[in-house]
A and B are shown apart, each in its own frame.
Chain A
């Protein structure tokens, strides 16, 4: 067991109040297309994807390998800038913004959780969690109190001086989520967050996501697991880059 239900941390909702678009959505995608050159033509990874995600939703993106799930998540996370269509985040037209403005929005509103945790090996647990705050120019004294609170909420105070290599996979993902919520993002994007965990650890992590969602955090996860998808409020299915919403 990663942690007992009784000791499951209680995350707080996102600090910022989302500014919604006309449809009341936090995220609005219209006709998103992504293709790469192949054999003199274009291979489409995503075609005419349109969807809205409302505040407080817990969306699971599912589909077979190569369906375009991760591609969509990276577009949402603004890691990928080469796509067509319109993307509105909290009323901001991402498709029309400069790289710098996109980076500022990403920094302010998005937290990312990776399948392989992607903690920085040379930083301690404390420093990994503190890192997004330092990139947001949060004052050192504020950083200390925020990280202390998160360590406490996630029940990992005792691990704060350990390095990632000294933690189990579940513990590492816990730190990964703690790092994602540290800067109070409006939306958390999780790319197969339990893909590298065994079932009991996966269940604990999904419980944590549910609690975060219960607190009002919007979550979008990519998963292959129907069981994990059931933690969410909505499932979006992708096949060959096309949306097949359930």
Chain B
């Protein structure tokens, strides 16, 4: 059996080798489909299936809270609550993470780096060994609860800061003015909350410190039991510090960690849909090759008939033909690997990093190779089976006659026609989906932003908390920097705040004066100077902006957006009314300094236009702007509007800040246009890939259509000759064949249109990622025109050539 199978393989290789043109075209077509599928598999595997290098990631659980307003699947708790969690019988091991950043100075260029404080059991919990040295151990937290100044480096930080030096252990890093000793380096894929920062021990001295806990269950404990215990604990935690947790109807929930952190929702949806798209692409490629096989089969009728006449069974013929198909597919798969490598490179470049876990590695690994092989074999069987079954039962008497022309029978034409219709239908589905992504992106591009990003330049100005340890010092720095920058040429306005330019920024519970606070109701709070509206290009609709005096004195004045204004009772003018901001009553953490004696009741002085502050795809959220002098966080963003070119300001802004403090870890300046581009990165990624795969599908479908229809025309050369001899005009011949091709395309369009509509309905929730879920006639019409042109070219060109040949020639 094995020997005869090997003989089949040998003959198959020889067959393909002797027909290089066919092999090249068929294997090339398959390479596109298999390569795209392999690349997407690698991405899906790296991002969704196995994104983490941690031990048994599926057994990690995140304790969260659920309220009527929604679920917080991952959220921080006070350190004392974390310790209480660890005492629950169902929880075998619980670790805590306190993400933050510290200023790196000393022998290094000043820079703020991610510094993740983790409980001493964290590295054992995660189950990843260092590449050098050791990880954080229980002994790194002293009996007093204080953490020893030691640091574990990420692989990238080791490369950046120490050039990958092997003798890095024992060296010193100065973080927030404290020398930390390097004790270990983690492997490249380890990226717990940071991929280029460091990890330090989490001190036990501050019970109020907020930490993110995760847990593994004790042996034998089920998630249901653990959830029950967690739910029993939640009321005590919430009641002990009601200001820090939601109150109404709060309930404990446990979520598997893979479900909460593996890529973001839109990326997951995009990848799933893209995986489906390459599946369609592969189908088109298979249909193409099946058609080529069928065309070739008619020239092999005699060979198959001879084999049957000398004793071959039908099964043996089918096996031989399938072996040829699988060998062909494997050659295609091999070439597809090279194509997959290119696609992966392009995808990784295009992929917005913030949508993907730090630890994800997208590469052609052993599993991807196995996938590629499997897909190749399945494809080989898929596109080879129908031709093999059909070819293996020729009319022996006709086929063995010497005058047999090897022309295809009616049955084969039907199969070919069905394949063409199916190919067109599948490419319609693919193209309509691609058109949906393009339209979605275009819609996003046309969305009314509410501000003018052109001419805006921002730079992050983090103030080291030890150097700037009072609110006055932080405000003084901010005011001086604003004044210096305002004096720069071509600067039309300057503001400084805490994000919200216009995206990001903190949120705060609020209550409209005279109304009760609603649990879970929060508004965005943007710190700003008096130029804020000029800098953003966002007009005030009613009332006014801040005066210089309000900003300088830190008065409790506020400007709300229209979304916030709608929360006031109908007919009530918000201007002059007051809003209670919890943020001004109790800052979120000790590093945010509040102006002494400030009132949490903010008087509204104006209503500004709605600005897209939650990304471009979402409606603006209620937001309030208050003077930056009321609250002093360490992180600041300076934003400038200029009427001139933005690039010269990049250096000028940095220079002004560094002249005031050379140790400031400034971020890279960015323009408003770049901030918008980042917001559209995910849809752009989806659109680019869908567009590329759609174009590839269209090209394959057009090529398939052309090859099949031109083959059908060539098979009817004799008929064309007879028609011409009987007086037909070449134009009549062209029309005849054009109608044949267009008929097939029309059938494919109808089938594809129905398929697209059904798909859009079935996958409505998935298509949600595009912002629109229904197909439209414009997309379908455009696709129809494209395929119609391809069909016309495919029919008319060969028919014209055939019509140009003298009848005596073509009838020969």
How close is B94's CB to chain A, nearest CB, in angstroms?
65
- Is there an interface contact between B309 and A120, defined as CB atoms closer than 8 Å? no
Contacting pair A79 B402 (CB below 8 A): no
The interface-forming segment of B33-41, B393-401, B565-573, B646-654 is: B393-401
Contact B18 A122 (CB under 8 A): yes
Interface centre among B7, B15, B402 (most CB of A within 10 A): B402
B306 CB contacts on chain A under 8 angstroms: 114, 118-120
Chain A 117-139 per-residue mask, 1 if CB under 8 angstroms from chain B, else 0? 01111110001000110111000
Q: Which of B307-346 contact A (CB under 8 A)?
A: 307, 309-313, 316
New A-B pairs, 7, CB < 8 Å, besides A70-B401, A80-B396, A122-B11:
A74-B396, A79-B400, A107-B313, A118-B306, A120-B307, A135-B311, A140-B3
Q: Is A15 an interface residue (CB 8 A)?
A: no
- CB-CB < 8 A to B303: which residues of A? 120-121
Chain B residues within an 8 Å CB radius of A119: 306
A-B contact pairs, 20 of them (CB 8 A): A79-B309, A80-B396, A80-B397, A106-B311, A107-B313, A111-B310, A112-B309, A114-B306, A114-B400, A120-B306, A120-B307, A122-B14, A131-B307, A131-B310, A135-B307, A135-B310, A135-B312, A135-B313, A136-B311, A191-B400
A10 sits at the interface (CB 8 A):
no
Q: Enumerate chain A residues within 8 angstroms of B216, measured Cβ to Cβ.
A: none
Query: Do A122 and B15 form a contact, CB below 8 Å, given A80-B396, A140-B3?
Result: yes
Interface string of A83-104 (1 = CB under 8 A from B): 0000000000000000000010
> CB of A8 within 8 A of chain B?
no
> Which one, A71, A122, A132, contacts B310 given CB within 8 A?
A132
Q: How far is the CA of A134 from the CA of B11 in the complex (A)?
A: 13
CB of B302 within 8 A of chain A? yes
* Interface: B160 (CB within 8 A): no
- From 465 to 508 in chain B, residues with beta carbon under 8 angstroms from any chain A beta carbon are none
Q: Which of B671-727 contact A (CB under 8 A)?
A: none
Say yes or no: is A11 at the interface (Cβ < 8 Å to chain B): no
The contact of A132 among B11, B305, B311, B397, by CB within 8 Å, is: B311
Contact of A112 among B3, B310, B402 (CB under 8 A): B310
Min CB distance, B396 to chain A, in Å? 4
Chain B interface (Cβ < 8 Å from any Cβ of A) = 3-4, 7, 11, 14-15, 18, 302-303, 305-307, 309-313, 316, 396-397, 400-402
Given contacts A122-B11, A123-B11, contact A134 B309 (CB under 8 A): no
Contact among B7, B15, B305, B396 for A134, CB-based, below 8 A: B7
| Residue pair A116, B396 in contact (C-beta under 8 Å) | no
Residues of chain A lying within 8 A (CB to CB) of residue B3: 140
A9 within 8 A of B: no
- A140→B4 CA distance, assembly (Å): 8
Which of chain B's residues have a CB closer than 8 A to the CB of A135?
Answer: 307, 310-313, 316
With the chains together, A134 CA to B7 CA distance in Å? 10
Residues of B within 8 A of A140 (CB): 3
Contacts of A116 in B (CB 8 A): 402
| Chain A residues within 8 Å of B402, by CB | 115-116
In angstroms, Cα B397 to Cα A70, docked, is 9
Q: Which residues of A contact B14 (CB under 8 A)?
A: 122
Interface centre among B303, B310, B316, B400 (most CB of A within 10 A): B310
Q: How far is the CA of A134 from the CA of B307 in the complex (A)?
A: 11
Q: What chain A residues lie within 8 Å of B18 (beta carbons)?
A: 122
Give the distance to chain B from A129, nearest Cβ to Cβ, in Å. Answer: 10
Q: Which residues of B contact A70 (CB under 8 A)?
A: 397, 401
Complex contacts, A71 vs chain B, CB 8 Å: 397
| A-B CB contacts (within 8 Å), total count | 59
Q: Is A220 an interface residue (CB 8 A)?
A: no
CA distance A24 to B77 in the complex (A): 101
Give the complex CA separation of A80 and B307 in angstroms. Answer: 15
> Roughly how many angstroms separate A118 CA and B305 CA in the complex, as a whole number?
9
Residue in chain A with minimal CB distance to B404: A116
Q: Which of A54-90 contact B (CB under 8 A)?
A: 70-71, 74, 77, 79-80
User: In the complex, A191→B306 CA distance in Å?
Assistant: 13
Residues of B within 8 A of A229 (CB): none
CB distance from A67 to the nearest CB of B (A): 15
Do B302 and A118 touch (CB < 8 A)?
yes
Q: Closest CB-CB distance, B4 to chain A, in whole Å?
A: 6
Interface-central residue, B306, B313, B396, by most chain A CB under 10 Å: B306
Any chain B CB within 8 A of the CB of A243? no
Which of B4, B7, B397 meets A79, CB within 8 Å? B397
Which chain A residues numbered 138 to 155 have a C-beta less than 8 Å away from chain B? Answer: 140
Determine the chain B residues whose CB is within 8 A of the CB of A134 once the complex forms.
Answer: 4, 7
Q: Which residue of B lies closest to A139 (CB)?
A: B3
Q: Would you give the shortest CB distance from A47 to chain B, in whole angstroms? A: 18
Q: Given A115-B402, A120-B306, A122-B15, are A107 and B311 also a contact pair (CB < 8 Å)?
A: yes
**How far does the Cβ of B5 sit from chain A's closest Cβ, in whole Å?**
11
Measured between alpha carbons, how far is A106 from B401 in the docked complex, in Å? Answer: 19
Question: Cα distance A14–B307 when bound, in Å?
Answer: 21
A82's closest neighbor in chain B, by CB? Answer: B397
Q: How many Å from the CB of A196 to the closest CB on chain B?
A: 8
Q: Is the CB of A183 within 8 A of B311?
A: yes
Judging by beta carbons under 8 Å apart, are A103 and B313 in contact?
Answer: yes
Cα-based distance from A119 to B306 in the complex (angstroms): 8
How close is B661's CB to chain A, nearest CB, in angstroms? 80
What B residues does A191 contact at CB under 8 A? 400
Complex CA distance for A111 and B309, rounded to whole angstroms: 8
When C-beta atoms are compared, the residue in chain B nearest to A180 turns out to be B310
Q: Provide the residues of chain B in CB contact with A131, threshold 8 Å.
A: 307, 310, 312
Determine whether A179 belongs to the interface, using a CB cutoff of 8 Å to chain B: yes
A window 167-198: CB within 8 A of B: 179-180, 183, 191
CB pair B313 A79 closer than 8 Å: no
Q: Smallest CB–CB gap between B14 and chain A, Å? A: 6
Question: Closest approach, in angstroms, between the C-beta of A202 and any C-beta of chain B?
Answer: 16
CA distance A71 to B309 in the complex (A): 15
Residue in chain A with minimal CB distance to B316: A135
Q: How far is the CA of A95 from the CA of B705 in the complex (A)?
A: 45
A134–B401 CA distance with the chains assembled, in angstroms? 25
A111 to B397, CA, bound (A): 15
Chain A residue with Cβ nearest B7: A134
A179 / chain B contacts, CB cutoff of 8 Å: 310
Most B C-beta atoms less than 10 A away, residue of A107, A135, A179: A135
CA distance A114 to B400 in the complex (A): 8
A116 to B404, CA, bound (A): 11
CB neighbours of A120 from chain B (8 A): 303, 306-307
A121 surroundings in chain B (CB, below 8 A): 303
Q: How far is the CB of B12 from chain A (nearest CB, A)?
A: 10
Kindly list chain A residues whose C-beta atoms are within 8 Å of the C-beta of B11: 122-123, 127
Q: B306, B311, B397: which has the most chain A beta carbons within 10 Å? A: B311
CB distance from B301 to the nearest CB of A (A): 12
Q: Would A79 and B396 count as touching, CB distance under 8 A? A: yes
Taken together as a complex, chains A and B put the C-alpha atoms of A119 and B309 apart, in Å, by 12
In the docked arrangement, what's the CA distance between A103 and B307, Å? 12
**A137 CB, nearest partner CB in chain B, Å:** 8
Query: Whose C-beta in chain A lies nearest to the C-beta of B2?
Result: A140
A151 CA to B755 CA, complexed, in Å: 60
What is the bound-complex CA distance between A134 and B396, given in angstroms?
20
Q: Are A74 and B397 in contact (CB under 8 A)?
A: yes
Measured CA separation A122–B14 after assembly (Å): 7
> What is the bound-complex CA distance between A235 and B316, given in angstroms?
37
Complex Cα–Cα for A70 and B400 (A): 11
Considering the complex, give the chain A residue whose CB is closest to the CB of B1: A137
Q: How far is the CB of B274 from chain A (nearest CB, A)?
A: 41
- Docked Cα-Cα span, A114 to B18, in Å, equals 25
Give complex CA distance A238, B11 in Å: 42
Q: How far is the CA of A71 from the CA of B401 in the complex (A)?
A: 10
What 7 A-B pairs have minimum CB-CB distances, sorted nearest first? A79-B396, A107-B311, A135-B311, A118-B306, A135-B312, A132-B310, A140-B3
Residues of A within 8 A of B305 (CB): 118
Q: Please, how many angstroms separate the alpha-carbon atoms of A180 and B302 in the complex?
A: 17
A-side contacts of B312, CB under 8 Å:
131, 135
The complex places the Cα of A200 from the Cα of B310 at a distance, in Å, of 27
Bound complex: CA A116 to CA B406 (Å): 15
